[in-house]
Amino acid sequence: MPGAHLIRTHSIVVMKLRMLLHGISTLISVVIISARQTHSNNASDHKLGQRILALYRVVDFMAQRPRQMNVDAIFGLTIVEAHVASTLNHVKLTIFHPRFRDVLIDILELCRRARRQAATVVLTKTKETAILNQVLNQPEIWQRPVAWSVGLLGPRPPPSENNTESSVLECFYKGTPNETESDRCLSQLAQDYRRPLCQVSEPCAEMLTRNDGPRGYPLAHRLLYVVTAVALRCMERDSTPFDKLIPAYCTAMLQDAVDMEDTNFPAMSRDMVCEQVILCGMAGYMEFANDHYAALILSWPNDAGCFTSLGFGEEIFRKRFKRESERMDYGCDNHATALAAASLSLLIRQFVETSNLTV
């Protein structure tokens, strides 16, 4: 019967994919073990191998579920491509076990296939998201040098006074912009970036400097806009100097990160931490891209290798509307899983590029 043939074919494909994943996992495990015994850089190889293995597992999970993806998940894969490609091109990768390069090449190809396949089945619901999906999902836009630094944001702050789980939750949506305003401003950049003059618009400049004490997601949306403007080579305005806005935003985000960790990451904090690592990490701030946050993120996936913004078995605090997050298999969600993949790729790049070993 044709149906039975399709079922058998599907089963064979699934089996081959699982065998491939097992092979990659075994390969990385063997590399880590052998590095401990024979390679002078064994501790660094072990740390890098853990990050690479986690990234492979999460990208493979997404690749097998294109219909469970959304536009944000596709964007996450785009960021993964950019950082993995940059890592492969960096001379310091030669410091580490040579088989890591092979695995990163496999991840890059898997990511490209996953992104392109998801793009054929994921629908955009608004004109703004369609524009963003078309323009921002070009990995070469994001494949830019990172000037890594530490200490420019000042010392790590203590938790806020009277910091509690409730006070952290109340800050998740404090201030502006909301998602609609954010998408409007981002799509304006995307529309203008190939024109002779791409510049922050007056309404979006007002959004960036609005004095309403943004925290959580609104603060992340402001930084995403500025990081996107820089990636698209759009011009700032006198009122929006990027070199002042980015450290100001990341300083505020660092306080958010400290407060969330102090209260054991309530509700959607894990989702937020990954956004902070990606955005401030892309700006080069190692206060966010470091072993501490790598260890946290590596402790969050389930056995399937995917992530949830809420923690497995926890109740949802507040439903996120629109495109932001949908459920995936094994209790995961596509927004958190894509953010985790992107943050892992950034952490791999940071670990390689800031290695203090000589080439």
Concatenating the DSSP letter of every residue in 99-160 gives HHHHHHHHHHHHHHHHHHHHHHHPPP-SHHHHHHHHHH--HHHH------BSSTT-SPPPPP
pLDDT of residue 186: 97
CA 43 – CA 54 distance, rounded (Å):
17
pLDDT at residue 292, as a whole number: 97
Q: What is the pLDDT of residue 170?
A: 94
Rounded distance between C-alpha atoms, residue 342 and residue 54, angstroms? 11
pLDDT in tens, the chain (359 residues): 444 444 444 444 444 455 455 455 555 554 554 444 444 468 899 999 999 999 999 999 999 999 999 999 999 999 999 999 999 999 999 999 999 999 999 999 999 999 999 999 999 888 999 999 999 999 999 999 999 999 999 999 999 999 999 999 999 999 999 999 999 999 999 999 888 889 999 999 999 999 999 999 999 999 999 999 999 999 999 999 999 999 999 999 999 999 999 999 998 899 999 999 999 999 999 999 999 999 999 999 999 999 998 765 544 434 443 446 789 999 999 999 999 999 999 999 999 999 985 44
Amino acid 310: pLDDT:
74
Which residues contact residue 285 at a Cβ distance below 8 angstroms, ignoring those fewer than 6 apart? 149, 150, 152, 153, 247, 250
Provide the residue ranges of all domains of the chain, joining segments of one domain with +. Answer: 2-353
| Whole-number pLDDT of residue 65 | 96
Tokens of 228: 């996107």
